[in-house]
Chains A and B, each alone.
Chain A
Amino acid sequence: GAVVSQHPSWVICKSGTSVKIECRSLDFQATTMFWYRQFPKQSLMLMATSNEGSKATYEQGVEKDKFLINHASLTLSTLTVTSAHPEDSSFYICSARVAGEGDTQYFGPGTRLTVL
Protein backbone atom coordinates (compact mmCIF):
# COMPACT_ATOMS: atom_id res chain seq x y z
CA GLY A 1 0.00 0.00 0.00
CA ALA A 2 0.90 3.66 -0.23
CA VAL A 3 3.28 4.84 2.47
CA VAL A 4 3.34 8.32 3.93
CA SER A 5 6.00 9.44 6.37
CA GLN A 6 6.25 12.43 8.66
CA HIS A 7 9.20 14.06 10.30
CA PRO A 8 9.73 14.68 13.10
CA SER A 9 7.54 12.27 15.02
CA TRP A 10 7.61 14.58 18.00
CA VAL A 11 8.98 18.04 18.73
CA ILE A 12 9.17 20.29 21.76
CA CYS A 13 9.76 23.97 21.23
CA LYS A 14 9.66 27.22 23.12
CA SER A 15 6.84 29.68 22.75
CA GLY A 16 7.47 32.14 19.92
CA THR A 17 9.60 29.85 17.79
CA SER A 18 8.63 28.28 14.48
CA VAL A 19 8.44 24.58 13.78
CA LYS A 20 8.45 22.82 10.42
CA ILE A 21 6.84 19.42 9.90
CA GLU A 22 7.52 17.40 6.76
CA CYS A 23 5.16 15.00 5.06
CA ARG A 24 6.49 12.70 2.36
CA SER A 25 4.91 10.16 0.05
CA LEU A 26 7.50 7.40 -0.14
CA ASP A 27 6.34 5.17 -2.96
CA PHE A 28 3.98 7.32 -4.99
CA GLN A 29 3.49 10.83 -6.25
CA ALA A 30 0.95 12.87 -4.37
CA THR A 31 -0.59 15.76 -6.21
CA THR A 32 -2.83 16.44 -3.24
CA MET A 33 -1.92 16.27 0.43
CA PHE A 34 -3.94 17.17 3.49
CA TRP A 35 -3.05 18.46 6.93
CA TYR A 36 -5.11 17.57 9.97
CA ARG A 37 -5.00 18.44 13.62
CA GLN A 38 -6.21 16.09 16.33
CA PHE A 39 -6.91 16.96 19.94
CA PRO A 40 -6.86 14.24 22.62
CA LYS A 41 -9.75 11.81 22.37
CA GLN A 42 -11.22 13.67 19.41
CA SER A 43 -11.61 13.17 15.71
CA LEU A 44 -9.44 14.76 13.06
CA MET A 45 -9.93 18.37 12.05
CA LEU A 46 -8.94 19.21 8.48
CA MET A 47 -6.73 22.29 8.44
CA ALA A 48 -5.89 22.64 4.77
CA THR A 49 -5.62 20.95 1.41
CA SER A 50 -2.28 21.22 -0.30
CA ASN A 51 -1.91 20.91 -4.07
CA GLU A 52 1.50 20.57 -5.68
CA GLY A 53 2.65 23.80 -7.20
CA SER A 54 -0.19 25.95 -5.97
CA LYS A 55 -1.36 27.68 -2.82
CA ALA A 56 -2.98 25.63 -0.12
CA THR A 57 -6.70 25.87 0.54
CA TYR A 58 -7.38 26.49 4.21
CA GLU A 59 -10.48 25.49 6.12
CA GLN A 60 -12.58 28.15 7.74
CA GLY A 61 -11.07 29.34 11.00
CA VAL A 62 -7.52 28.18 10.24
CA GLU A 63 -5.01 31.05 10.15
CA LYS A 64 -3.04 30.73 6.94
CA ASP A 65 -0.34 33.11 8.16
CA LYS A 66 0.21 30.99 11.23
CA PHE A 67 0.12 27.59 9.59
CA LEU A 68 2.22 27.91 6.44
CA ILE A 69 1.88 25.07 3.99
CA ASN A 70 4.19 24.44 1.08
CA HIS A 71 3.83 21.63 -1.47
CA ALA A 72 6.83 22.20 -3.67
CA SER A 73 7.17 18.70 -5.09
CA LEU A 74 5.03 15.67 -5.81
CA THR A 75 6.43 13.86 -2.78
CA LEU A 76 6.82 16.54 -0.15
CA SER A 77 4.52 18.92 1.69
CA THR A 78 5.55 20.94 4.71
CA LEU A 79 3.60 22.58 7.50
CA THR A 80 5.29 25.39 9.40
CA VAL A 81 3.75 26.54 12.64
CA THR A 82 4.95 30.11 13.01
CA SER A 83 5.38 31.85 16.35
CA ALA A 84 4.08 28.81 18.15
CA HIS A 85 2.17 29.14 21.40
CA PRO A 86 1.08 26.54 23.94
CA GLU A 87 -2.40 26.41 22.42
CA ASP A 88 -0.80 25.14 19.19
CA SER A 89 0.29 21.99 21.01
CA SER A 90 -1.43 19.13 19.28
CA PHE A 91 -1.05 16.03 17.14
CA TYR A 92 -0.61 16.97 13.48
CA ILE A 93 -1.28 14.35 10.83
CA CYS A 94 -0.83 14.58 7.08
CA SER A 95 -2.37 12.44 4.39
CA ALA A 96 -2.13 12.03 0.65
CA ARG A 97 -4.33 10.87 -2.18
CA VAL A 98 -3.05 8.32 -4.65
CA ALA A 99 -3.80 8.71 -8.34
CA GLY A 100 -6.21 6.05 -9.49
CA GLU A 101 -7.60 5.35 -6.04
CA GLY A 102 -10.31 7.98 -6.03
CA ASP A 103 -10.90 9.61 -2.68
CA THR A 104 -8.80 7.19 -0.62
CA GLN A 105 -6.34 8.99 1.64
CA TYR A 106 -3.26 7.42 3.19
CA PHE A 107 -2.09 8.91 6.45
CA GLY A 108 1.27 9.60 7.96
CA PRO A 109 2.15 8.52 11.50
CA GLY A 110 1.61 11.98 12.93
CA THR A 111 3.76 14.57 14.68
CA ARG A 112 3.28 15.44 18.33
CA LEU A 113 4.01 19.14 18.88
CA THR A 114 4.45 20.47 22.39
CA VAL A 115 4.99 24.19 22.86
CA LEU A 116 6.35 25.23 26.22
Chain B
Amino acid sequence: GNSVTQMEGPVTLSEEAFLTINCTYTATGYPSLFWYVQYPGEGLQLLLKATKADDKGSNKGFEATYRKETTSFHLEKGSVQVSDSAVYFCALAEYGNKLVFGAGTILRVKS
Protein backbone atom coordinates (compact mmCIF):
# COMPACT_ATOMS: atom_id res chain seq x y z
CA GLY B 1 0.00 0.00 0.00
CA ASN B 2 0.89 3.66 -0.11
CA SER B 3 3.04 5.11 2.64
CA VAL B 4 4.97 8.23 3.60
CA THR B 5 8.15 8.40 5.64
CA GLN B 6 9.38 11.63 7.20
CA MET B 7 12.54 12.38 9.08
CA GLU B 8 12.09 12.16 12.81
CA GLY B 9 12.12 15.28 14.89
CA PRO B 10 12.28 17.44 16.65
CA VAL B 11 14.37 19.57 14.37
CA THR B 12 15.84 22.51 16.25
CA LEU B 13 17.32 25.43 14.32
CA SER B 14 18.42 28.94 14.98
CA GLU B 15 16.61 31.78 13.29
CA GLU B 16 17.73 32.36 9.68
CA ALA B 17 19.11 28.83 9.36
CA PHE B 18 18.42 26.65 6.32
CA LEU B 19 15.70 24.05 6.73
CA THR B 20 15.33 20.66 5.13
CA ILE B 21 12.74 18.11 6.20
CA ASN B 22 13.06 14.88 4.29
CA CYS B 23 10.03 13.02 2.96
CA THR B 24 9.97 9.87 0.86
CA TYR B 25 6.97 7.95 -0.33
CA THR B 26 5.83 4.61 -1.65
CA ALA B 27 2.95 4.54 -4.08
CA THR B 28 1.59 2.24 -6.72
CA GLY B 29 0.80 4.97 -9.23
CA TYR B 30 1.40 8.68 -9.62
CA PRO B 31 0.20 10.41 -6.49
CA SER B 32 -0.19 14.05 -5.66
CA LEU B 33 2.13 15.16 -2.87
CA PHE B 34 1.47 17.67 -0.12
CA TRP B 35 3.04 19.44 2.80
CA TYR B 36 0.74 20.55 5.60
CA VAL B 37 1.68 22.60 8.67
CA GLN B 38 0.02 22.43 12.07
CA TYR B 39 0.49 25.13 14.68
CA PRO B 40 -0.19 24.26 18.34
CA GLY B 41 -3.85 23.64 19.05
CA GLU B 42 -4.92 24.18 15.45
CA GLY B 43 -5.93 22.17 12.43
CA LEU B 44 -3.75 21.58 9.40
CA GLN B 45 -2.99 24.25 6.83
CA LEU B 46 -2.02 23.37 3.30
CA LEU B 47 1.51 24.68 2.81
CA LEU B 48 2.22 23.53 -0.73
CA LYS B 49 1.55 20.75 -3.17
CA ALA B 50 2.74 19.16 -6.39
CA THR B 51 0.69 16.98 -8.66
CA LYS B 52 3.21 15.52 -11.09
CA ALA B 53 6.88 14.65 -11.40
CA ASP B 54 9.33 17.58 -11.45
CA ASP B 55 6.67 20.01 -10.26
CA LYS B 56 7.86 22.43 -7.59
CA GLY B 57 5.40 23.58 -4.98
CA SER B 58 6.19 26.81 -3.15
CA ASN B 59 4.58 29.07 -0.58
CA LYS B 60 5.76 31.53 2.09
CA GLY B 61 9.41 30.81 1.30
CA PHE B 62 8.97 27.05 1.56
CA GLU B 63 9.45 24.84 -1.47
CA ALA B 64 9.48 21.16 -2.37
CA THR B 65 10.10 19.37 -5.67
CA TYR B 66 8.34 16.17 -6.71
CA ARG B 67 11.17 13.75 -7.49
CA LYS B 68 9.82 10.58 -9.05
CA GLU B 69 13.23 8.99 -9.53
CA THR B 70 13.99 9.18 -5.81
CA THR B 71 10.33 9.07 -4.68
CA SER B 72 10.95 12.13 -2.56
CA PHE B 73 9.34 15.46 -1.74
CA HIS B 74 11.72 17.19 0.64
CA LEU B 75 10.64 20.47 2.23
CA GLU B 76 13.14 23.34 2.21
CA LYS B 77 13.31 26.93 3.35
CA GLY B 78 16.29 29.19 3.02
CA SER B 79 15.88 31.17 6.22
CA VAL B 80 13.55 30.05 8.98
CA GLN B 81 11.83 32.31 11.48
CA VAL B 82 10.61 31.67 15.00
CA SER B 83 7.07 31.83 13.64
CA ASP B 84 7.80 28.74 11.50
CA SER B 85 7.88 26.61 14.63
CA ALA B 86 5.17 24.00 14.10
CA VAL B 87 4.59 20.39 13.09
CA TYR B 88 5.03 19.62 9.40
CA PHE B 89 3.25 16.71 7.74
CA CYS B 90 4.10 15.23 4.36
CA ALA B 91 1.21 13.45 2.66
CA LEU B 92 0.21 11.80 -0.59
CA ALA B 93 -3.03 10.96 -2.32
CA GLU B 94 -3.93 9.16 -5.48
CA TYR B 95 -6.99 10.23 -7.40
CA GLY B 96 -10.13 9.68 -5.43
CA ASN B 97 -8.33 8.12 -2.52
CA LYS B 98 -7.66 9.27 0.99
CA LEU B 99 -4.63 11.23 2.15
CA VAL B 100 -1.82 9.17 3.59
CA PHE B 101 0.20 11.13 6.14
CA GLY B 102 3.70 10.82 7.44
CA ALA B 103 4.26 10.83 11.19
CA GLY B 104 4.96 14.56 11.27
CA THR B 105 8.15 16.46 12.07
CA ILE B 106 8.34 18.98 14.88
CA LEU B 107 10.30 22.10 13.97
CA ARG B 108 11.57 24.40 16.71
CA VAL B 109 13.23 27.66 15.75
CA LYS B 110 15.16 29.55 18.40
CA SER B 111 15.75 33.27 18.31
Contact = CB atoms under 8 A, between A and B. Distances in A.
B97 interface: yes
B94 interface: yes
Contact of A109 (B42, B46, B95, B96): B42
A108 B95 contact: no
Contact of A104 (B34, B102, B104): B34
A49 interface: yes
Given A103-B32, A103-B97, A6 B102 contact: no
A94 B70 CA distance: 32
Contacts, number: 54
Main secondary structure of the interface of A (DSSP, over half): strand
Contact of B104 (A1, A34, A43, A46): A43
Interface string A1-41: 10010100000000000000000000000000010000000
A109 B43 contact: yes
A102 B36 contact: no
A108 B51 contact: no
Contacts of B34: 104
Output the residue of B32, B43, B44 with the most chain A CB within 10 A. Answer: B43
B89 interface: yes
B46 A106 contact: yes
Contact of A43 (B45, B93, B94, B101): B101
A103 B42 contact: no
The 9 A-B pairs of least Cβ separation, nearest first, read: A103-B93, A107-B44, A107-B43, A110-B43, A109-B43, A43-B101, A103-B32, A93-B43, A108-B43
12 contacts: A42-B104, A43-B101, A43-B104, A93-B43, A103-B94, A105-B46, A106-B46, A107-B36, A107-B43, A107-B45, A109-B42, A110-B43
Interface of A: 1, 4, 6, 34, 42-44, 46, 49, 93, 95, 102-110, 112
